[in-house]
A and B are shown apart, each in its own frame.
Chain A
Amino acid sequence: MAEYAIEIEHLVKRFDNLTAVNDVSLNIRRGEIFGLLGPNGAGKSTTLNMVLGLLSPTSGRVLVNGTDMHTNPYAARNEMGIVTQETVVEPELTAEQNLMIFGRLYHIPEPELRKNIDFALGLADLTSFRNAYAGTFSGGMKRRLETAKSLMHAPSVILLDEPTTGLDIQNRTKIWDLLRDINKNQNVTILLTTQYLEEADQLCDRIGIIDHGRLIALGTPTELRQKIGMNSVIEISADREVLQKVADVFRKIGLEPKILTNKVVAPAGSAATKKIEMLIKELSARKVQIHNISMHEPTIDDVFLKLTGSEVRDTTGDYVGGRAGFMMGRVR
């Protein structure tokens, strides 16, 4: 038994004139839930595809339970379950048939297969929909079926690429519960990417942030917050036209503001209340109209913003299209 569930060693992926992943090293511990964050086009999906063995790295290597993914892919894949970003369930097949096909593709012997299907259906809370066609399922049910499908062959690691994107809060909570359940009870290591930062915050034991192909931060959510030295965050929302003026006020009292779509935020540093007072005074002196001023504990959103300079949800990947599309990590 290797010490780490997944070891990523000096991973580099270069496309013609673009380095998508630049020397990423990362060890994922046995039994942890690890979240990989990053803006679109940051190299997140490229990294994940190399871990899945779908892309060969330019240099570096990936070990799954000590087995090299690129020299021994079949053995490595047997250790791993995958939930891709697109919900891959076949709508023309029943829940049971979906599970059966993938169980067979993982070469589970026949008597065991039957048991595993029952188990997976129970896990996904779909036992009563065993013979219903997956095409009739809601988005959340499909997602659960897919997650259960990736656990059919009792892998020690599962990878989830944005498992809750597009789900409502109720279904998202159900998926979280499912992930916590398998993490705790089956001792499955989980590596997930997400664009919901609060999800990473609540669910993950550790978080890694990738930007421009490099791993720029790694640690528990609490560690990350402390590491960037942010005590509190001051946030002022106002009309778009005056955001620049608000930012000037921030600068005047010695803060470093970031302008977002409808608000300006800045880490407060020490003596936060004092600074709010100064801000309000200065704003009214300059007759700048604002909607709201608030102060809160830093969230992963703020950490992310500070480190990458962008809001994770407000960016979209460039549509590169056609066969070049994969280079940018993901094409929507």
Chain B
Amino acid sequence: MGLVGDTYTLLLREMLIFKKNFKVSVARSLMFPLIFILLLGSFGSALKNVPVAVVNHDYGLTALNFINALQLGNSLRVVQETTQQQAMDLLSRGTVAAVIVIPNGFSKSLADSNIYVYLDNSQPQAAAVVSSQVKLSAATVGTTAALDGLPSADPTTPSVITNYAYGASSNYLSFVVGGLLVMVASFGAVFTSGFTLLSDRQMGNLKAFLTTPINEFSILLSKILYGTFQSIFSAYIGLAIGLMYGASIAAGIVGFFELIWIIFLVGLGFSALAIALATRTTQLQTYALMAQTVTMPLAFLGGAFVPVSLLPNFLLPFVAVNPLTYAVNAVRDIMIKGYLPMYTLISTSAILLVFTSVMVGLAFILFKDTSKQI
């Protein structure tokens, strides 16, 4: 039989247990994706109907056109206030995200009239939506909007034409789902392979396995493969939820298979990492703590939640050595860009495979060291 046969037998055991607990496994795999997609996935849609207060001192036709333009596309919800004082009160209470003041005489002489916008930048995303919409609307009536009371030096506004080179149909949801898949894959791996090894140790199963004439390495290998299976399983449940919720795989059916490959590599590497961690303790609680301490920062630094470009400079070295960074990038290429260059595919696979081999080696050395301590 040897290594392959023994690994198969032990994997068969895990699979039979998995089959017995199928409903629980599905429910557990549903939790993360549902929570994350529901909480983070609607991020983009929250930036519709940003409330702004408009104080109109002018009442001319141009002013009304401007206010109409503000409301185009539903990105802003306009509340009219009679005095600037009332409007500023709303802003200070957080009821509105910005106050827009149209001065008296605005309609008569556009050239030297400035629209004043007061922004609450404690909600940067909302503020960004407001300022872009104000600029757009100001352009339609042919004036400039001055932010924070600084009049623009340029009286004429050049028109801006925007084209999306990639990700035209992208939204924050696809971004979230891409990161989520990698996160769920790594978490799924860590919380199955490590936990089953520890519970086997606690229940005495490990001792029983070690007293049979099997290759010790097959115990590790079966745990790693089971963890990998669990991460693919969880990731695809996550993907299914994401797709139903409105995300899309821009690369189509090819992308689907490329995703399996990337998720498989992430699962493999993180299952091995989990085994290496699990050999260091006998307590489930300690293990859970260690696993979270390792996986949460890796998921964060890999850009699973926020784009890596938003992270401060001192974190960038950690981003560069984090294997999840490359996995997340590849998944986003597949899901958002719609095209995974062969170079990226090969380099990402190589990085993840190197990570996996190092972790398998480490797990094996540590396991050999501690397996006798029953």
Residues in A lying within 8 Å of B, measured CB to CB: 49, 52-56, 73-75, 77-78, 80, 82, 84-88, 90, 92-93, 97, 101-102, 104-107, 133, 322-323, 325-326
Contacts and interface: CB of A to CB of B under 8 A. Distances in A.
Interface in B326-341: none
B16 A97 contact: yes
24 contacts: A49-B374, A52-B211, A54-B210, A54-B372, A54-B374, A55-B372, A75-B213, A77-B211, A86-B204, A88-B203, A88-B208, A90-B17, A90-B205, A92-B20, A93-B20, A97-B16, A101-B13, A104-B5, A105-B6, A105-B209, A105-B212, A106-B213, A133-B20, A325-B373
B21 to A, nearest CB: 6
Given A86-B203, A326-B374, A92 B211 contact: no
Given A84-B204, A88-B203, A106 B212 contact: yes
Given A55-B372, A326-B373, A90 B13 contact: yes
Most chain A beta-carbon neighbours within 10 Å: one of B1, B16, B208: B208
Given A92-B17, A97-B16, A326-B373, 7 more contacts: A80-B211, A88-B205, A88-B207, A88-B208, A93-B16, A102-B212, A106-B213
A16 B109 CA distance: 93
A26 B319 CA distance: 60
Most chain A beta-carbon neighbours within 10 Å: one of B209, B370, B374: B374
Contacts of A92: 16-17, 20-21
Interface residues of B, number: 27
**Nearest 9 CB-CB pairings of A with B:** A86-B204, A74-B213, A104-B9, A105-B212, A77-B213, A92-B17, A88-B208, A88-B204, A82-B211
Contacts of B207: 54, 84, 86, 88
Contacts of A90: 13, 17, 205
A124 to B, nearest CB: 16
Contacts of B208: 82, 84, 88, 102
B22 to A, nearest CB: 11
Interface string B1-37: 1000110011011001100110000000000000000
Contacts of B370: 323
Contacts of A104: 1, 5, 9, 12
A73 B213 contact: yes
Nearest to A76: B213
Contacts of B13: 90, 93, 97, 101
B282 interface: yes
B214 to A, nearest CB: 5
A210 to B, nearest CB: 19
Most chain A beta-carbon neighbours within 10 Å: one of B10, B21, B207: B207
A172 B370 CA distance: 34
Contacts of A97: 13, 16
Contacts, number: 79
Contact of A105 (B9, B21, B204): B9
Contacts of A56: 372
Contacts of B17: 90, 92-93
Contacts of A85: 204
B347 to A, nearest CB: 40
Given A55-B372, A88-B204, A97-B16, A323 B282 contact: yes
Contacts of A52: 211
Contacts of B373: 323, 325-326
A133 B210 CA distance: 24
A326 B374 CA distance: 6
Nearest to B204: A86
A23 to B, nearest CB: 22
Given A101-B9, A101-B12, A322 B213 contact: no
Interface in B91-126: none
Contact of B211 (A54, A322, A326): A54
B238 to A, nearest CB: 25
A298 to B, nearest CB: 36
Contacts of A86: 203-204, 207
Contacts of A54: 207, 210-211, 372, 374
B280 to A, nearest CB: 9
Given A86-B203, A88-B205, A93-B13, A105 B214 contact: yes
A149 B9 CA distance: 16
A321 to B, nearest CB: 9
Nearest to B8: A104
Interface in B13-72: 13, 16-17, 20-21
Nearest to B202: A86
Interface in B200-225: 203-205, 207-214
Contacts of B20: 92-93, 133
A84 B210 CA distance: 12
A242 B204 CA distance: 45
A110 B213 CA distance: 17
Contacts of B211: 52-54, 77, 80, 82, 84
Contact of B213 (A101, A107, A323): A107
Nearest to A324: B373
B212 to A, nearest CB: 4
B370 to A, nearest CB: 8
A77 B212 contact: yes
Contact of B282 (A53, A73, A322): A322
Nearest to A82: B211
Contacts of A93: 13, 16-17, 20
Contacts of B6: 105
Interface string B344-374: 0000000000000000000000000010111
Most chain A beta-carbon neighbours within 10 Å: one of B20, B205, B211: B211
Nearest to A81: B211
